[in-house]
């Protein structure tokens, strides 16, 4: 597949070198060819896609195209899409056709970007390997015996395999950044509140954010322009002046102070990953950056804090899945109560049930102060660490994940081992800060390595600038899995 950036595709469309329909057709063919092995998509509907593409072509012809009109995109199956099955990777919603569009989906429709389909994900966004999906695990295109990461595993895999030029993902504890790292693509989680959560099936409300996943930072910047903006239907959506996230891409990095948290380079970090990240730091220095040692002392508490807060919120958010108004209902039950209990026992997978139970426990009578309240307090300590750090540096850098793509089944028996994958990504979610992952090399087995940037609140343009300059000087982000080219 030609390595086509979003801007290149947009240019081709504008120049009438290709139509949106033709472009969509190409990607649909590639999806048909590759998806059986990768399982990146849960739902593909060629007819709907082509209809949307035809409409995009009409807009282009009428001179009413936006910057990305006609460029197709895949959507994580967590975004309610009117008339499309929206499953959240779960049996609970395996036949749920959404009757409305998520705000993010509305924005992409307004931008004229046809949907290539709904991508696979860990069930209800709970996971770091995309192995908990009711629709089967997603395979990493770089090595199909390995996981792509999660929960936006399908989105990451489909972009890595060039089944789509871009995809939307969501990130609660690292679910955009970590799969982006494991699949060798670029992914960004914006500052909390920049992208509307309306229509995005909730996992942990105070942590969830939608964001772009694409080969390059420039692509992500263009997508962020589409995705961000105030939504009156989301009380946590921020009202801010509209930004153009591409505006600072070409700024030189001279004078940039890059903070390196010592806690992110400590034990538990794979040596190949450490080496690749260190090489990236060297690269940035060549571009004019300097480094600063910083400490995020409370970041080691991020995982336990996250595994109190996220399950607590999730346990409540998932109560609506009860078989009454939509979704799965158990076929046999003896009473209303029995219906609830069987529906939820049968409709949810094991990881989801575990987290609901943890969540219910930490909120239950007598435990709220010791768990939930305590976690919220430590959350503030973690956020304060970042505030302190940003006095000494402009941007924070480290590895995205402690390792590279592991084998399918390798960690799925031990929940805690799985949770440790999110060590470096969770702190940004807890603080509400923007974070990004971009490819910076490969390990000895040829598996991608990701480098993470964490910026101060609303500093996406700066982060994208750093990433873009790095991507101009390197070509990790252009690499594609050999077997799939």
Partner 1 sequence: MSLTPDDVKRIARLARIEIDDVQAQATQAQLNTIFDLIATMQAVDTAGIAPMAHAQEVYQRLRDDVVTETDRHAAFQAVAPAVENGLYLVPKVIE
Partner 2 sequence: MKRGHDNWETVIGLEVHTQLATRSKIFSGSSTAFGAAPNTQASAVDVALPGVLPVLNKKAVECAIRFGLAVDATLNRVNVFDRKNYFYPDLPKGYQISQLAKPIVEGGTLKIVVEGEERTIHLTRAHMEEDAGKSLHEDFHGMTGIDLNRAGTPLLEIVSEPEMRSSAEAVAYARALHTLVTWIGICDGNMQEGSFRVDANVSVRPVGQTEFGTRREIKNLNSFKFLQQAIDYEVRWQIETLEDGGRIEQATVLFDPDTGETRMMRSKEDAHDYRYFPDPDLLPVKLDEDWIEAVRAGLPELPAAMQARFQADYGVSAYDAAVLTGSRALADFFEAAARACGQGKLAANWVMGELSAALNKAELDIAQSPVSAAQLGTLIARIQDGTLSGKLAKQVFEGLWEGAGEVDAIIETRGLKQMSDSGELEKIVDDVLAANPKSVEEFRSGKEKAFNALVGQVMKASRGKANPAQVNELLKARLQ
Q: Which of 199, 215, 349, 441 binds partner 2 (CB under 8 A)?
A: 199
Q: Which of 14, 345, 392, 473 binds partner 1 (CB under 8 A)?
A: 345
Q: Which of 187, 211, 427, 432 binds partner 1 (CB under 8 A)?
A: 432
CB atoms within 10 A of CB 93: 24
Question: Does 326 contact partner 1 by CB under 8 A?
Answer: yes
CB of 351 to partner 1, least distance (A): 10
Q: Report what 446 binds from partner 1, partner 2, none; CB cut-off 5-8 Å by kind.
A: none
CB atoms within 10 A of CB 307: 21
Q: Which of 90, 129, 133, 151 is catalytic?
A: 151
Residues facing 76 on adjacent strands: 119
Question: Does 344 contact partner 1 by CB under 8 A?
Answer: yes
* Catalytic status, residue 152: no
Q: Which of 324, 370, 392, 473 binds partner 2 (CB under 8 A)?
A: 324
Q: Residue 134 corresponds to which tokens in the numbers above? A: 């009711």
Binding range to partner 1, per CB under 8 A, among 121-129, 137-145, 228-236, 269-277: 228-236
Q: Residue 78 corresponds to which tokens in the numbers above? A: 């967590």
Q: Who contacts 213 (Cβ-Cβ below 8 Å, separation ≥6)?
A: 152, 155, 156, 159, 166, 167, 168, 169, 176, 179, 180, 185, 186, 187, 188, 220
Q: Which of 41, 84, 108, 198 binds partner 2 (CB under 8 A)?
A: 198
Sign, CA torsion 463/468/471/472:
negative
Q: For residue 279, which phi and psi values (nearest 5 degrees)?
A: -60, -40
Question: Does 83 contact partner 2 by CB under 8 A?
Answer: no
Query: How far is it, in rounded angstroms, from Cα 59 to Cα 44?
Result: 24
Question: Does 314 contact partner 2 by CB under 8 A?
Answer: no
Query: How far is it, in rounded angstroms, from Cα 224 to Cα 168?
Result: 10
User: How many helices (H) and strands (E) would you count in the chain?
Assistant: 15, 11
Q: Which of 96, 245, 306, 406 binds partner 2 (CB under 8 A)?
A: 96
Q: Report what 391 binds from partner 1, partner 2, none; CB cut-off 5-8 Å by kind.
A: none
Which positions from 378 to 397 touch partner 1 by CB under 8 A, shown as an x/- string?
xxxx-x--------------
Nearer to partner 2, 235 or 482 (CB): 235
Query: How far is it, in rounded angstroms, from Cα 75 to Cα 438?
Result: 20
CB of 351 to partner 2, least distance (A): 18
Q: Which long-range contacts (CB under 8 A, 24 or more apart) does 6-10 make?
A: 6/68, 6/71, 6/165, 6/166, 6/214, 6/218, 6/219, 6/222, 6/223, 7/218, 7/219, 7/222, 9/70, 9/71, 9/165, 10/67, 10/68, 10/69, 10/70, 10/71
Which residue, 249, 253, 248, 247, is CA-closest to 281? Answer: 253
Nearer to partner 2, 343 or 421 (CB): 343
CB 11 within 8 A of CB 47: no
CB of 267 to partner 2, least distance (A): 33
Q: Which of 5, 19, 20, 76 is catalytic?
A: 76
* Catalytic status, residue 151: yes
Which positions from 230 to 269 touch partner 1 by CB under 8 A, shown as an x/- string?
--x--xx-xx------------------------------
Q: For residue 3, which phi and psi values (nearest 5 degrees)?
A: -75, 90
Q: Which of 84, 134, 340, 476 binds partner 1 (CB under 8 A)?
A: 340
Binding range to partner 2, per CB under 8 A, among 95-103, 295-303, 423-431, 455-463: 95-103
Q: How many CA atoms lie within 13 A of 395 on its CB side?
A: 28
* Catalytic status, residue 133: no
Query: Residues interacting with partner 1, by CB under 8 A?
Result: 95-97, 99, 191-193, 206, 232, 235-236, 238-239, 301, 303-305, 307-308, 315, 319, 322-327, 329, 333, 335-342, 344-345, 348, 353-354, 356-358, 360-362, 364, 370-371, 373-381, 383, 414-416, 419, 431-433, 457
Binding site for partner 2 (CB under 8 A): 79-80, 86, 88, 93, 96, 98-100, 102, 197-202, 204-206, 232-236, 312-313, 315-316, 319-322, 324-326, 336, 340, 360, 363-365, 368, 372
**Catalytic positions:** 76, 151, 175
């Amino acid at each position: 597949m030609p390595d086509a950036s979003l801007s290149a595709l947009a240019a081709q469309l504008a120049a009438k070198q290709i139509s949106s329909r033709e472009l969509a057709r190409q990607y649909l063919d590639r999806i048909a060819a590759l998806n059986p092995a990768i399982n990146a998509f849960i739902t593909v509907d060629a007819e709907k896609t082509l209809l949307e593409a035809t409409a995009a072509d009409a807009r282009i012809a009428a001179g009413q195209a936006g910057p990305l009109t006609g460029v197709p995109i895949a959507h994580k199956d967590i975004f309610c899409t009117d008339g499309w099955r929206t499953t959240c990777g779960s049996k609970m919603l395996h036949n749920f056709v959404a009757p409305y569009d998520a705000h993010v989906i509305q924005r992409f429709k307004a931008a004229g970007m046809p949907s290539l389909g709904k991508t696979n994900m860990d069930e209800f966004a709970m996971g770091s390997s995309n192995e908990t999906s009711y629709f089967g695990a997603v395979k990493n295109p770089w090595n199909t015996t390995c996981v792509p990461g999660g929960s936006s595993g399908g989105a990451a895999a489909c972009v890595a395999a060039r089944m789509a030029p871009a995809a939307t993902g969501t990130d609660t504890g690292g679910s955009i950044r970590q799969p982006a790292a494991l699949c060798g693509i670029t992914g960004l989680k914006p500052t909390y509140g920049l992208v509307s959560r309306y229509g995005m099936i909730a996992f942990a409300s105070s942590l969830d954010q939608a964001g772009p996943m694409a080969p390059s930072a420039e692509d992500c910047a263009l997508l962020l322009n589409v995705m961000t903006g105030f939504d009156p239907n989301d009380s946590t959506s921020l009202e801010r002046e509209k930004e153009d996230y591409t505006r600072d891409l070409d700024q030189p990095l001279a004078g940039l102070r890059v903070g390196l948290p010592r806690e992110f380079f400590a034990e538990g970090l794979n040596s190949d990953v450490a080496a690749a990240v260190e090489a990236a730091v060297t690269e940035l220095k060549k571009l004019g950056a300097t480094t600063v040692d910083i400490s995020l002392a409370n970041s080691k508490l991020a995982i336990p804090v996250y595994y109190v807060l996220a399950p607590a919120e999730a346990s409540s958010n998932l109560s609506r899945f009860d078989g009454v108004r939509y979704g799965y209902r158990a076929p046999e039950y003896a009473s209303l109560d029995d219906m609830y209990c069987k529906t939820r026992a049968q409709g949810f997978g094991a990881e989801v049930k575990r987290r609901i139970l943890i969540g219910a426990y930490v909120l239950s009578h007598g435990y709220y102060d010791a768990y939930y309240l305590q976690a919220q307090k430590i959350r503030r300590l973690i956020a304060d660490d970042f505030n302190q750090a940003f006095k000494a540096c402009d941007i924070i850098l480290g590895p995205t994940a402690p390792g590279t793509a592991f084998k399918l089944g390798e960690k799925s028996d031990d929940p805690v081992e799985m949770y440790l994958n999110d060590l470096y990504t969770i702190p940004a979610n807890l603080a509400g800060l923007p974070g990004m992952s971009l490819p910076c090399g490969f390990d000895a087995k040829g598996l991608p390595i990701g480098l993470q940037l964490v910026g101060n609140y609303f500093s996406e343009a700066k982060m994208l600038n750093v990433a873009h300059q790095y991507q101009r000087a390197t070509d990790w982000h252009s690499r594609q899995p050999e077997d799939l080219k």
